[in-house]
Chain A
């Protein structure tokens, strides 16, 4: 009688496409395949004169056949080869022709007994085998002998079974549902152990309860997990044209499969497998209940584990799985299964948080991280922030960093943090994306970007902590999320932030003061300011706005708009106002930018009989420069309208003819010798985010600032700010300088050349 293979294949295709994924579907496919293969075998093998039995092995034997599973077939018989060959052709060829993947073994009972002794894979396949057709007693004897033999050799077999590699993690967003940690093979291993230790074939790990290796609830959890693993694998097999057991993020989303339940199931399988392995080896896992009821972790215990770095991950994951971290962070155990696949994340949220926190202890492997870690003043607030940085992802939607900050404020005391530590940890969580997002999405050479970022991270040690957290977060995200390229990009931003927060370039409160001044200036300008003046206010740098009053801003906007509107290369506008201290005046000058402009202005002020006490130079708007000087009379003569008229005259002559101005200054110097014999000192004080600070100490004399600023211009450097203070005839001036591209000057040669030119001129 012919076997309807085509009918079998049609039923199989219909079942695979229509069945609800899960153990029932796997059993139905097994049963369908049983019937077809049995019919083929009985037809083809019945002429054999020796007894025979056909057995289904491996997953098929355990009634868990999936769409892409191999049909692992064992034919047991003593029949001679010449008789067997044509008979087997009748079983295997129709299956091969149908495109099924069939693995077959043909052996005598004795040969198979030897095979299971010599080959672990043959043993494990047989331990979950069952008889399909033929001589049932013969087939059952093969199965029983395999389990009994392995039981006798259990001292050798058990270590071999438990030495199996378990790659990956149950917390991977794209887990290997078969061979990965927490996958099907882990359940199989427990089933094989149950068979070997009990000496009888087993369909599941329940026998481990009687052996004291698992508890009843454990076995129930493993049963549920096995069902979910079958369901997940069925989804993957059905969607993929090739045999694969990797549940991709896309497949999980498109199939609507409850992937978080699957992650929880894999965690159960993973930790129970570790636990059984530990108990068998006499090395229980850290939080094994056999060691006594494990206590929930407190802050100190958690910090101790986190400080062990990656080595502590298995213990931390076990603690989270057992709910021992829930006292510190409620529902952290559930967070271990929460999936938020985005931005290269490869782990569930909880597993990512643990990896981020342990990465800090492993920072020595990353030079940038290690260097930043030296600047961290409080490690506990950093570790707490790393541990909690993504807890806000327990809810979907944007704003997880802000939700995380709120969680830190609620939970921080449980970690033993003092209020100021709690504030730091909350800030780190709120801003944990700041450096990465700013470095990748903003121009970090823009001074305002640095000032605004520095306002959010107001201390250098917090910049260090945030850099470490950024790096640890990226390292815990997945491979490629933190490369040398990212380290360099984020590192440069962190360096600029540190520099901007140094004592020489204080920027605390800059953003707030600047924005208040900008808004007040716009209000003062009324409803219809000129377009140029309004543009000046809207685009003015934060440091400028923070340093002046709103009235100054409006005045400066008028000056700049006037000069820009004239279009003349030697145009200039001056505004004067009473200065900050008695006898001083504030002089604001707008003029088209050009090399040496600052020194020309200094020279004109000197020729007008004015001593410069302080100066600020700003890139204003549309190629116009704005310089603000605080001056006083360099003699006992009063400053009056004739002084400002003189300044207008000298500037009008000096801007188109700097050489003439230099000649007049040299003449003036002859009449006013130096007021002391102090030695000239030139020192580079600091390199900040926006400029390099250079201090010059020299005997004061008329035109000194002109000469020093000429030295800067001669060496191709631009002055962005200057403060000139003179006491007892000695000038003590600080200058902020940039190179021609507006970057701080770091080249030692250029700075040495500058020092030489200053000494020459002074």
Chain B
């Protein structure tokens, strides 16, 4: 199993969700996060006061899928989240050692 984490622009969440549902991904966890990468925080000048916006609001999603589905999920996220502008985000993939569905006790892929 693979755990896939993606940091995307907030307005792309619905498109990513629909793309993943089309692949048969049945669930995901969504976070509202802030951070910066190449799209650095920026300084705004407003009415003579300068203030720094250190972090940019992003949406983070987490999904765990079977190994063979992981590359398709990665590509689906990339395709759906792309605007071709800086700050489109990143996708990270990790090995996932186990999963348990708490209600039924099912383990591994059965729990996904």
Interface residues of A (CB under 8 A from B): 371, 374-375, 439-446, 483-486, 488-489, 491-492, 495, 498, 687, 741-743, 746, 748
Q: B94 contacts the other chain (Cβ, under 8 Å)?
A: no
CB of A195, distance to nearest CB on chain B (Å): 49
26 intermolecular pairs with C-beta atoms under 8 Å apart = A371-B46, A371-B49, A443-B9, A443-B85, A445-B83, A445-B85, A446-B83, A446-B85, A483-B32, A486-B32, A488-B34, A489-B10, A491-B53, A492-B56, A492-B57, A495-B44, A495-B46, A687-B45, A741-B38, A741-B87, A742-B85, A743-B42, A743-B86, A746-B42, A746-B44, A748-B43
Which residues from A are CB-within-8-Å of B87? 445, 741
A489 adjacent to B83 (CB under 8 Å) = no
Which residues from B are CB-within-8-Å of A483? 32
Which residues from B are CB-within-8-Å of A442? 11
If A485-B34, A485-B57, A495-B44 are given as contacts, then 11 extra A-B residue pairs at C-beta distance below 8 Å, sorted by A number, are A440-B11, A443-B9, A444-B11, A445-B85, A445-B87, A484-B34, A488-B53, A491-B53, A498-B46, A742-B85, A743-B42
Which residues from B are CB-within-8-Å of A489? 10, 57
Which residues from A are CB-within-8-Å of B14? 441
A443 adjacent to B46 (CB under 8 Å) = no
Q: B33 contacts the other chain (Cβ, under 8 Å)?
A: yes
Number of contacting residues on B, CB 8 A? 24
Please give me the residue from chain A that is nearest to B38 by CB atom: A741
Which residues from A are CB-within-8-Å of B38? 741
Please give me the residue from chain B that is nearest to A744 by CB atom: B42
CB of A394, distance to nearest CB on chain B (Å): 30
CB of A488, distance to nearest CB on chain B (Å): 5
Which residues from A are CB-within-8-Å of B53? 488, 491-492
Contact with A along B1-45 (1 / 0, CB 8 A): 000000001110010000000000000000011100011001111
Complex CA gap A742/B38 in Å reads 13
Complex CA gap A741/B14 in Å reads 24
A interface: dominant SS? helix
Please give me the residue from chain B that is nearest to A489 by CB atom: B57
CB of B45, distance to nearest CB on chain A (Å): 7
In chain B, positions 43-73 with a C-beta closer than 8 Å to chain A are 43-47, 49, 53, 55-57
Q: Which of B45, B47, B56, B86 contacts A375 (CB 8 A)?
A: B47
CB of A285, distance to nearest CB on chain B (Å): 40
A485 adjacent to B83 (CB under 8 Å) = no
Complex CA gap A483/B45 in Å reads 23
Complex CA gap A485/B60 in Å reads 12
Q: Which of B9, B47, B55 contacts A488 (CB 8 A)?
A: B55
Which residues from B are CB-within-8-Å of A440? 10-11
Complex CA gap A577/B51 in Å reads 46
Which residues from B are CB-within-8-Å of A748? 43
Are A374 and B34 also in contact (CB < 8 A) when A488-B55, A488-B57 are?
Answer: no
Complex CA gap A443/B10 in Å reads 9
CB of B108, distance to nearest CB on chain A (Å): 32
Which residues from B are CB-within-8-Å of A746? 42-44
Complex CA gap A440/B12 in Å reads 9
Which residues from A are CB-within-8-Å of B47? 374-375
B85 adjacent to A741 (CB under 8 Å) = yes
CB of B43, distance to nearest CB on chain A (Å): 5
CB of A364, distance to nearest CB on chain B (Å): 16
CB of B90, distance to nearest CB on chain A (Å): 15
Complex CA gap A741/B38 in Å reads 10
Which residues from B are CB-within-8-Å of A488? 34, 53, 55-57
Complex CA gap A128/B42 in Å reads 66
Complex CA gap A741/B55 in Å reads 18
Which residues from B are CB-within-8-Å of A446? 83, 85
Which residues from A are CB-within-8-Å of B39? 741
Complex CA gap A642/B86 in Å reads 44
CB of A686, distance to nearest CB on chain B (Å): 9
Please give me the residue from chain B that is nearest to A371 by CB atom: B46
Q: Which of B14, B39, B47, B83 has the most CB of A within 10 A?
A: B47
Which residues from A are CB-within-8-Å of B83? 443, 445-446
Which residues from B are CB-within-8-Å of A374? 47
Which residues from A are CB-within-8-Å of B56? 488, 492
Complex CA gap A486/B59 in Å reads 11
| CB-CB nearest 7 A-B residue pairs | A741-B86, A489-B57, A485-B32, A488-B57, A746-B42, A746-B43, A485-B57
Which residues from A are CB-within-8-Å of B44? 495, 687, 746
